[in-house]
Amino acid sequence: MARIHERGNGQTRSCSKRLPKVHATGFKIYISSDFVLSSVNTVNIETIVDFRKLQFFGQLSRLASKYLAKSIFVNRLTSFYNGDIRQSGFITDAYRILSKYNLTDFLETYVTSGDFPTKCSWKLTLQTHDLKRKKQEQMDNVVNNENADYLHNVLNIETTSRLWNICKRKLAIADICRTLNRTVAMCVSRKFLSPCAKCQTLCVDIVEHLLTL
């Protein structure tokens, strides 16, 4: 048990290193989360966890029957399909996630025939149904008829913000690019700000702003 616990902690540290450091972008707390995630070309942690769980589900499905883990997996899956309402844990959670991303057909095929996609095929399927769909959803939440003309020149669903890419190549204008990115972020996050009735300034905390006037 201790060995599993240690491995789990190491895996967590490894995953955390791969996650983008969003705070390094310099965005304020009131900036739209969808814009921040889109600008660094990633998704929220819930989607990443779903992706990892479904990857693990695929590993168990392809595992050879000689392993104890596969026997436990098949036994729990059988109990789930037999309507064991007392069951909770990974199988129930995996079914919920598969339903969430419309991937239950793969499970039905596995239960009836024992066939499951290869590792590469399953990963590609998850990237299409899970990650890419979520990235597109984030982009749609940010882009609208008012800002579409200029925002498509900033955000790209396939990579990080074009302004961040310019920062990497042209360090001399990096500060300008950061300022522009923050300005665009504020423009698309206006619904989270409150206008001051006296000076028309957009404020995060209208009370604090009025006290400083």
- Taking only the tens place, the pLDDT of each residue in 68-106 is 999 999 998 988 888 775 667 888 899 999 999 999 999
Q: What is the pLDDT of residue 26?
A: 60
Cβ within 8 Å of residue 65, ≥6 positions away = 71, 74
Q: Which helix H or strand E contains 203, and what residues bound it?
A: strand 202-203
Confidence of residue 10 (pLDDT cuts 50, 70, 90): very low
In the chain, where the domains are located:
21-41+142-213, 44-116
Are the CB atoms for 54 and 61 separated by under 8 Å? no
The predicted model gives 169-173 an average pLDDT of 80
User: What predicted TM-score, i.e. pTM, was given to this entire model?
Assistant: 0.68
pLDDT of residue 106: 94
Residue range 158-180: mean pLDDT, rounded: 79
Type of residue at 50: D
The CA-CA-CA angle for residues 50, 56, 61, to 5°, reads 125
